[in-house]
Amino acid sequence: MGLARTGDGEDGRNGSTGSTGDGSGLRVVERGALCGKGATATAVLRPGARLTRPLVRGADGELAPAGWDEALERVARGLSGTRQRYGADAVAVFGGGGLTNEKAYALGKFARLVLGTSQIDYNGRFCMSSAAAAGNRAFGLDRGLPFPLEDIPRTGCVILVGANPAETMPPALRYFTELRARGGTLIVIDPRRTRTAEQADLHLAPRPGTDLALALGLLHLVVAGGRVDEAFVAERTSGWEGARAEAMAHWPELVERITGVPVPRLREAVELFCAPRAAMVLTARGPEQQAKGTDTVGAWINLCLATGRAGRPYSGYGCLTGQGNGQGGREHGQKADQLPGYRMLTDPAARAHVAGVWGVDPAVLPGPGRSAYELLDALGDPSPAGIRALLLMGSNPVVSAPRAAHIEERMRSLDFLAVCDVVLSESARLADVVLPVTQWAEETGTMTNLEGRVQLRRRAVDPPPGCRSDLAVLRGLARRLGWAGWEQGFPEEPAEVFAELRRASAGGVADYAGISYERIAAEGGVFWPCPAEDHPGTPRLFLDRFATPDGRARFTAAGHRPAAEEPDAEYPVLLTTGRVLAQYQSGAQTRRVAELNAAAPGPFVQVHPRLAERIGAAEGDRLAVVSRRGRAVAPARISTAIRPDTVFMPFHWPGEGRANTLTNPALDPASRMPEFKVCAVRVERAEPVEQE
């Protein structure tokens, strides 16, 4: 959605939505507001804060400035040499959820046509993939919100699960504030009492990893209390009996034992949600970044369906994204299993359509490749199935990937690594070639927010002379790699790329055929699907039918199961991770802004006073948090805002305080989402107590 400082989920290089250019659609969503990250975003435009010349690693092992021709030739040789020696799938591409639609589209096309590789995915896999899988399964379509943000204040009750917009997307918080001002209620579900939870009418603090059981317990109470909308279930859904049976196996007292949420609070939540008015459930990374995230989101969707809170005005399920183009970034081809228009690579008709737009035989298109973590885990693998070379664009996995120390080791073992970035991120420091590219204010392109609103961001300032756009990089590489159609196939002008994207998406789930730059500018954004220029766009989905073949929404039948890693005697505490107000994602840009560093200078470990007393820690003491994957050290912040059995660490920093050194790469079987949000750790003082 339109965060004030958004980006690719890693380095933020594509993200400010301040009032640059015409800001088409942005003022509509954010109503002119900026958070601190947006207000300071121009700091990274300055040459002293960002890269302005290509860097090439020399014989001495150091990165040194080079010319563009030398740098692009080096990248082309590295990619082509690897492909010739080991095959096309030994070369991989890893993109970002903040790349514009045009760049995401061109990157997917480049990987599949020029490199001929199936090995492409992006960091958005770590963002909304569980919600996307659950939405597709239930509704036949994945769009973050099936309604505009402006509908939130007009509903009666919102259950906000695992989201903290007060710190992660402050301009959006006003929608929830307005909801309560109009008499609506806000229920926040989070193991921490966050700034958002402090504003809620009801805060439930479940044990991390138990959101699925909590949703099942609430649905149990809905059924037991006779609150099921039987007419809606009969007319507009399928699969209810299986979902009902699972819910009835999760009675309130059992759910209290699993989650730690008292039965009276469960009943209160149902009373508020089932009042005679519209209602919504909105999820974010808390329930989604789990090895059972798809089923967890599905259980919250079940609650909406059973109560008739879907497919009706001001009601429904939605997902809040945390990346600048988290929605659009996955719609047009940089995801391992998808083609432009949210078409699936395994669909012969989809392959034929996109191949026709690209002017190639459908047989040329590779099949689906590895998901994000699996791709990163295969880097440097010397086996025939391993990946030997990587083109990294708009991501910083050394900080952001789960089991990050292992991923850093895998990246160091590559034969060749090329990185396109604005700054010398931790991942870029490992590269053989670093290409300095343009960022948000220096380029034109479209972004699609979580509402499905396609927005236009116009170039406002000239980039430094030594920087080029990602589109120019792909064009230059396509030419040097000898792809015959490089002149027409990889234009540098975003408008030309978008014109082709429109044709490639036509008829797909995410149909942009009727959207143009001119129309976006005139209307303040256009909602997909929009199949024709005279089509009004689709701000609200599912009011008449769902996008499944029979038009019915589908219930999910899934029972609670433990997290992939539960506490034991050696690792008795749960770790959960997240963001803080003054930093963004891997911090590659925000950590270069003095004002933001002053507000949030480094990592910390939030611990409950009872846990602090047990390990003999005081405020500010250095704590070591140890998991089966590694050790992170950061100062203690003692607070009653977190459960006694849980600690929290923000994930914006590298080095000894890198939270993702600890996190578990266990994957959801459907979405391939890693279990960032819960793992077993032990917490101890990092240095001995001083004796008086």
* Confidence at residue 30, expressed as pLDDT on a 0 to 100 scale: 62
The token duo for 92 is 């991989």
The 10s digit of each residue's pLDDT in 403-420 is 999 999 999 999 999 999
pTM of the model: 0.93
Cα Dmax for the chain? 79
Q: What is the pLDDT of residues 170-214, one digit of tens each?
A: 888 999 999 999 999 999 999 999 999 999 999 999 999 999 999
Give the chain's length.
692
Section 129-154 average pLDDT = 96
Q: SS3 for 239?
A: coil
Single-letter amino acid code for the residue at 416: F
Which pLDDT score, from 0 to 100, does residue 48 have? Answer: 82
Is the Cβ–Cβ distance between 612 and 246 less than 8 Å? no
- Summarize pLDDT for 228-240 with one digit per residue, the tens: 999 999 999 999 9
Residue entry with tokens 């659609």:
25
- 326-351 burial by CB neighbour count: b if 16+ within 10 A, else e? bbbbbbbbbbbbbbbbbbbbeeeebb
User: Could you report the per-residue pLDDT of 9-25, keeping only the tens digit for each?
Assistant: 333 333 332 222 334 44
Other C-beta atoms within 10 Å of 52: how many? Answer: 14
Range 22-26 contact pairs with CB under 8 angstroms and sequence separation of 24 or more: 22/456, 22/458, 22/521, 23/457, 24/455, 24/456, 24/457, 24/458, 24/520, 24/521, 24/524, 24/525, 25/449, 25/453, 25/454, 25/455, 25/456, 25/520, 25/524, 25/525, 26/2, 26/455, 26/457
Give the pLDDT of residue 19.
Answer: 27
Cα separations in angstroms, 578 against 402, 485, 648, 692: 13, 44, 8, 37
The per-residue pLDDT for 28 is 58
Residue 570 burial (CB count, 10 A): 10
Domains of the chain, each with CATH number or no CATH? 26-126+325-527 (3.40.50.740), 129-323 (3.40.228.10), 573-685 (2.40.40.20)
pLDDT tops 80 at residue 391: yes
Rounded to the nearest 10 degrees, the angle between the axes of helix 470-480 and helix 101-109 is 10
pLDDT in tens, 454-503: 999 999 999 999 999 999 999 999 999 999 999 999 999 999 999 999 99
Residue 508 has pLDDT above 50, yes or no: yes
SS3 sequence, 269-284? Answer: HHHHHCCCCCEEEEEC
Res 581: pLDDT? 76
Per-residue pLDDT at 322 exceeds 90 = no
What's the pLDDT score for residue 324? 78
Q: In the prediction, which pLDDT does 688 show?
A: 57
